A and B are shown apart, each in its own frame.
Chain A
Amino acid sequence: MSVSPIRDEPTPVKWAIVALAVIFIGLFILLPLINVFAQAFVKGWEAYALALVEPDALAAVRLTLLVTALSVTANTAMGLVMAWAITKFAFRGKSFLITLIDLPFSVSPVVAGLVFVLLFGAQGYFGPWLIDNGWKIIFSWPGITLATVFVTFPFVARELIPLMQEQGTNEEEAAVTLGAGGWRVFTRVTLPNIKWALLYGVLLCNARAMGEFGAVSVVSGHVRGETNTIPLQVEILYNEYQFQASFAVASLLAVLAIVTLVAKTVLEARLNARGRGH
Chain B
Amino acid sequence: MSFHFKHAAAAALVAALAAPLGFAPVARAADVSLLNVSYDPTRELYQQFNKAFAETYKAETGKTIEIKASHGGSGKQARSVIDGLEADVVTLALAYDIDAIADKGFLAADWQKRLPDNSSPYTSTIVFLVRKGNPKGIKDWNDLVKPGVQVITPNPKTSGGARWNYLAAWAYALKHNGGDEAKAKAFVGSLFKNVPVLDTGARGSTVTFTERGVGDVLLAWENEAFLSKKEFGDDKFDIVIPSLSILAEPPVAIVDKNVDRKGTRAAAEAYLKALYTKAGQKIAAENFYRPRDPEIAKEYEKVFPKIDLVTIDDPAFGGWRKAQKTHFSDGGVFDQIYAN
Contacts and interface: CB of A to CB of B under 8 A. Distances in A.
A149 interface: no
Contact of A121 (B70, B83, B203, B261): B83
Q: Name the prevailing secondary structure of the A interface residues.
A: helix
B339 interface: no
Contact of A131 (B2, B23, B44, B84): B84
Contact of B19 (A66, A131, A196, A199): A66
Contact of B5 (A139, A196, A225): A196
A72 B70 contact: no
A72 B16 CA distance: 8
Interface in A76-121: 117, 120-121
A273 to B, nearest CB: 11
Nearest to B35: A223
Contact of A223 (B12, B16, B68, B261): B68
A231 interface: no
B231 A139 contact: no
B86 A139 contact: yes
A223 B70 contact: yes
A222 interface: yes
A15 interface: no
Given A68-B19, A123-B104, A241-B231, A192 B2 contact: yes
B82 A123 contact: yes
Contacts of B261: 131
Given A222-B71, A226-B68, A73 B16 contact: yes
Contact of A139 (B9, B12, B80): B80
Contact of A138 (B15, B40, B44, B83): B83
Interface string B19-40: 1100111000000000100001
A235 to B, nearest CB: 9
B203 A69 contact: no
Most buried by A among B12, B35, B68, B85: B85
A138 B84 contact: yes
B215 interface: no
Given A199-B5, A202-B12, A239-B204, A127 B19 contact: no
B48 to A, nearest CB: 13
A266 B44 CA distance: 46
Instruction: Name, among A192, A222, A236, the residue most crowded by chain B CB atoms within 10 Å (CB to CB).
Output: A222
Interface string A238-249: 111101000000
Contacts of B12: 199, 202
Contact of A122 (B16, B72, B84, B207): B84
Given A66-B19, A199-B8, A127 B69 contact: no
A257 B71 CA distance: 29
A199 B17 CA distance: 17
Contacts of B235: none
A195 B7 CA distance: 12
B86 A225 contact: no
Interface residues of B, number: 35
Interface string B153-175: 00000000000000000000000
Contact of A243 (B80, B104, B211): B211
Interface string B172-205: 0000000000000000000000000000000110
Contacts of B139: none
B131 interface: no
Nearest to B33: A226
B68 A66 contact: no
Contacts of A139: 80, 83-86
A208 interface: no
A276 interface: no
Given A123-B104, A141-B25, A239-B207, A69 B19 contact: yes
Nearest to A141: B25
B84 A66 contact: no
Interface centre among A65, A117, A127 (most CB of B within 10 A): A65
B20 A66 contact: yes
A70 B20 contact: yes
**A72, A136, A138, A139 — most chain B CB neighbours (10 Å):** A139
A66 B80 CA distance: 23
Nearest to A199: B8
Contacts of B2: 192, 195
A158 interface: no
Interface of A: 62-63, 65-66, 68-70, 72-73, 117, 120-124, 127, 131, 136, 138-139, 141, 192, 195-196, 199, 202, 221-226, 236, 238-241, 243
Interface of B: 2, 5, 8-9, 12, 15-17, 19-20, 23-25, 35, 40, 43-44, 68-72, 80, 82-86, 104, 203-204, 207, 211, 231, 261
Given A123-B104, A226-B25, 19 more contacts: A63-B25, A65-B23, A66-B19, A66-B20, A66-B23, A69-B16, A69-B17, A120-B84, A124-B83, A136-B86, A138-B84, A139-B83, A192-B5, A221-B70, A223-B69, A224-B68, A239-B40, A239-B203, A239-B204
15 contacts: A66-B19, A66-B20, A66-B25, A69-B16, A122-B83, A123-B83, A192-B2, A222-B71, A223-B35, A223-B69, A223-B85, A224-B69, A236-B71, A238-B207, A240-B43
